[in-house]
Chain A
Amino acid sequence: MNDVYIASLPVVLAAVSGILILVLDILVKKSEKLIFTLSLIFSLLPFLPFLIFYGFRSKAFGGQLITDKLSYTFVALISIITFFIILISYSYNKRRLIKYNEYYVLLFFAQAGLIALVSSYNLLVIFIAFEIFSFSSYILTGIVKDRLSSEAVFKYLFTGIIASSIGLLGIALLYGASGTLFIDKMVKTGTNSVVIISGFILFLINIFFKFSLAPFHIWTPDVYEGAATPISAYFSVAPKIAIIILILRFISLDVFTVFNVKIILWLIAAITILWGNFVALRQKNLKRLMAYSAISHSGYIAMGFLLPYESAYKYLLFYGISYLFLNIIAFTFLSYLTESSSDDVGMESVAGLSKKKPFESFVFSLALISLAGFPPTIGFFAKFYLFIALIESGYIYITLIAILGTVVSVFYYFRIIMYLYFKDEDKDFKFDIFGKIVLFLNMVIVLALSFYPELIFSFLRGW
């Protein structure tokens, strides 16, 4: 009985937060500040179940909704992400004249969808959760009213719907062949027919699409470029962490081995790493560049899908968590470069910025250096652990491909730093207190994690 409440608490918290804000928006006039403050508080609410119930397994609705260590870890992370995104959204929305308080509502609905996504073994629940997230994100992409954003939302919507239908077809095939919607039961029946495997691959394609793995990544740069920058930041971290956790659930059941798809994962990871990194080289727009950087990091993470559960659990989450903070830093910085008229942040727009904004440039460079995997930053340890685990499991060649990708990535990350520091121009931008807080907090976290990477492992153990 109690189980029902505990298991559904995280999802309900997020959904109710969204509904409350929606109601408030209707009742109160000129409510921008109030709603912003409330959203900030609400965004931290899901942290409570993490603190109280971590390590406590519960089931609800006949096992369709479960909570365990994995889902609570995600709940904690998503509340951190939403908190930071809302902090940087306020001034960004003012600058870009985004006056819709639905913005915050949709963030919470997306959050509810993602939490549901990581709390189930049921393929249909996973599908619906994906759709809740996707529909919120379609609207969020289009919430800025300009040409780029409209273009982005159409591309995202059409390709997204196609991917979802392919995924749904996969689920149908799986259900037809195995007679169950629960992936854990499906694995136990041990059937391994062509229908099951092809169904599973179709189901995976939907995930690959959302995770922006090549060749299903084409929407990513356009959407990142067109969407409001805080939203791009959200897209680059929240769904990724959710999918990492979802995949960890699959790995814990050994699904990839049972259904024989490891070779596909291998290929997709390799293609993504190469594609993301090499195409990023040619980007002039910083948001597009970060999109390709995000794609290549998806590739690195996808290598981790090949690992056995023990190491995948530790090192994939390590990678995801470190990547989360670094990406929030990078996008926070970019979101402040945006002016009211356009969202075009070319490489030139940061030229020589370090003279007027030494602190912000330092934090941004720290994030870029770390994303490039330079020691002794957290990004290095993330890659290092992943490489160790991969080599221990015998995946040598993909590790070498990843190394090649890392070398290439140095080019474009360091080119941004080069513009920041080595150019003689004197650009300046306004960073308000929220942006500084976000940068400072994330810097402290990144530096602390760089010197004590084991903090992440102790976080995963529930402190």
Chain B
Amino acid sequence: MLFYVLGLPFLFAILILLIPESKKKIVLPVSGVLSTIHFIISLSLYFGYDLSSAGFQFIINKKWISPGINFHIGADGVSILLILLTSFLFPLSFFASVKSVNKREKSFAFFMFLLEGGVIGVFVSLNVLLFYLFWEIMLIPMYFIIGIWGGKNRIYASFKFVLYTMVGSLLMLIAIIWYFKAAGGTSFELTEWLSKGPLSYAAQNWLFLAFAIAFMIKIPLFPFHTWLPDAHTEAPTAGSVILAGVLLKMGIYGFIRFGLPLFPDAFMHYRYLLMILSVIGIIYGGLMALVQKDIKRLVAYSSVSHMGIIMLGFLALNPEGFIGSIYQMLNHGLSTGALFLLVGMVYERTHTRQISDYGGLAKLMPVYAAIFMLIMFSSAGLPGLNGFIGEFLILWGTFEANKLLAVFAATGIIIGAAYLLWLYRRVFNGPVKEGLNKKVFDLNLREILYMVPIIILVIWMGVYPSTFTKLIKIPKTVGKHFIANGGFEK
């Protein structure tokens, strides 16, 4: 089953190219339908996953290339949730792009499917080099998506994105080759590396840093975050949704799957530093979001802040923090993705993203305002909606690990509420800005339809989280490093 979930996007990418140029109007709706089918197929992972065992399931292991690069894939609960998030966001992005992408639709769909395949590949690879391959595969489609369909500064943003990520991943490649040599020089299999036990502390130290920089750039953790506001702001709506929704999660996934299990001692050594960086990211991202003049840039900085929260939850190294962190990844994917979709909707109408160009939008677009408010509250963590569960669990976990940092993190979350509410007040309330009423009309059926699934999920995840949390089994490789009392000197 997993093979089809991974392979279908690549197949679709080729199928899309077969649509003749004369029928290019149907490309994006067709892609939307295809990726919806893909989402339904990937649901079978959710239902097919055997909850009684925590390990990897749906395993496929085939020899591919010597030395020891096998096509070894499998999924556990964490991977399945992230795959579902991915395959859920792609159809929405396609439907959201029907109007806004109006050049080279075929290439757009081609790159989007390539991206989807690459991202899913990252979440299912059990061979370290296979993981690296997928990690890099998704870079190129994203480069094109930002560069061809992006905004004014797209060329700068796409270059910055590629270079940052490339530097990180080449460091990771060297570390992978080094580890390969240290582990006997026969195999890139993760299980085999783990069974040999961790390396000496000195080796771990350097290798972990190389891995960690790659992951930190991707998350992005302060101070490696500077590519993100540019990339997010310049990317087309679909690109921003996918970038915020799933691409950022790959960094934290990398820490969970590789960073901690392979380098436990180095991880413990740098854990406190990483926690502090996360907290700085939370507060810094929030403060930066407060002063942004561009709505998309504001949402981008809010992402920096939220990713810090998620990372902090994982770094707490206890069950509450871990579950909260995974759950918050889903929440962030949904609510930030939805915010980008919403920003995209008004941008299509007004072609401006400056907050100062808006005002009184609630009178002109009541449905839009209502949906925006709901998503905003979900992002700010209002109880009853999804964001609350994740943030609560993370703060609980952090509090057990380190009280001081938990206090700072909670402050950051308050800033989150502040910039969102202030944004809402400036854009939706007050007198209607001049000239706005000529351009703006309320949401049409297509736009409402692709927001509905998000709204349902946002409420569902807030009210009945165990539908999803039951899948979050703590992997053994992570669980054995959990610390009961926080691990810091009091």
**Residues in A whose Cβ lies below 8 Å from that of B147:** 418, 421-422
The verdict on A403 contacting chain B, using a C-beta distance below 8 Å, is yes
Known: A406-B170, A421-B148. A376 touches B137 (CB 8 A): yes
**Residues in A whose Cβ lies below 8 Å from that of B148:** 421-422
The verdict on B140 contacting chain A, using a C-beta distance below 8 Å, is yes
Q: Report B308-346 residues with CB < 8 Å from chain A CB.
A: none
Q: Mark A80-105, 1 if CB is under 8 A from B, else 0.
A: 00000000000000000000000000
The verdict on A391 contacting chain B, using a C-beta distance below 8 Å, is yes
Complex Cα gap A358–B108 (Å): 13
Are A454 and B66 neighbours in the complex by a CB distance under 8 Å?
yes
Complex Cα gap A36–B174 (Å): 48
Known: A374-B140, A376-B133, A410-B166. A400 touches B174 (CB 8 A): yes
Are A407 and B136 neighbours in the complex by a CB distance under 8 Å?
no
The verdict on B482 contacting chain A, using a C-beta distance below 8 Å, is no
Known: A407-B167, A410-B163, A414-B162. A375 touches B174 (CB 8 A): no
The verdict on A437 contacting chain B, using a C-beta distance below 8 Å, is no
Of the candidates A374, A387, A406, the one having the most CB atoms from chain B within 10 angstroms of its own CB is A374
Are A414 and B132 neighbours in the complex by a CB distance under 8 Å?
no
CB proximity of A274 to chain B, nearest CB, Å: 16
Of the candidates A369, A411, A421, the one having the most CB atoms from chain B within 10 angstroms of its own CB is A421
**Residues in B whose Cβ lies below 8 Å from that of A399:** 174
The verdict on B427 contacting chain A, using a C-beta distance below 8 Å, is no
Known: A387-B177, A391-B181, A453-B65. A375 touches B136 (CB 8 A): yes
Q: Report B72-112 residues with CB < 8 Å from chain A CB.
A: 104, 107
The verdict on A216 contacting chain B, using a C-beta distance below 8 Å, is no
Q: Report A416-447 residues with CB < 8 Å from chain B CB.
A: 418, 421-422
Q: Mark B24-49, 1 if CB is under 8 A from A, else 0.
A: 00000000000000000000000000
CB proximity of A397 to chain B, nearest CB, Å: 12
Q: Report B229-277 residues with CB < 8 Å from chain A CB.
A: none
Are B139 and A392 neighbours in the complex by a CB distance under 8 Å?
no
Are A422 and B155 neighbours in the complex by a CB distance under 8 Å?
yes
**Residues in B whose Cβ lies below 8 Å from that of A374:** 136, 139-140
**Residues in B whose Cβ lies below 8 Å from that of A400:** 174
Are B181 and A392 neighbours in the complex by a CB distance under 8 Å?
yes
Are A384 and B173 neighbours in the complex by a CB distance under 8 Å?
yes
The verdict on A388 contacting chain B, using a C-beta distance below 8 Å, is yes
Cβ contact of A454, chosen from B65, B140, B170, B177, cutoff 8 A = B65
Q: Mark A337-372, 1 if CB is under 8 A from B, else 0.
A: 000000000000000000100100000000001000
Are B174 and A387 neighbours in the complex by a CB distance under 8 Å?
yes
Complex Cα gap A375–B140 (Å): 10
The verdict on B159 contacting chain A, using a C-beta distance below 8 Å, is yes
Of all chain A residues, which has the CB nearest B121? A376
Are B166 and A407 neighbours in the complex by a CB distance under 8 Å?
yes
Q: Report B157-211 residues with CB < 8 Å from chain A CB.
A: 158-159, 162-163, 166-167, 170-171, 173-174, 177-178, 180-181, 185
Q: Report A447-461 residues with CB < 8 Å from chain B CB.
A: 452-454
Cβ contact of A410, chosen from B67, B162, B180, B185, cutoff 8 A = B162
Complex Cα gap A421–B67 (Å): 36
The verdict on B306 contacting chain A, using a C-beta distance below 8 Å, is no
Of all chain A residues, which has the CB nearest B178? A391
The verdict on B284 contacting chain A, using a C-beta distance below 8 Å, is no
Of all chain B residues, which has the CB nearest A424? B103
Which residues of A approach B to under 8 Å, CB–CB?
A: 355, 358, 369, 374-376, 380-381, 384, 387-388, 391-392, 399-400, 403, 406-407, 410-411, 414, 418, 421-422, 452-454
Task: List 9 additional contacts besides A388-B180, A391-B177; criterion CB under 8 Å.
Answer: A374-B136, A376-B133, A376-B137, A381-B65, A411-B163, A422-B154, A422-B158, A452-B65, A453-B65
Q: List 12 A-B contacts (CB under 8 A).
A: A355-B104, A375-B132, A376-B137, A387-B173, A387-B177, A388-B180, A392-B185, A400-B174, A403-B171, A407-B163, A452-B65, A454-B66
Shortest 8 CB-CB contacts between residues of A and residues of B: A375-B136, A422-B147, A375-B133, A376-B133, A403-B170, A388-B177, A391-B177, A410-B166
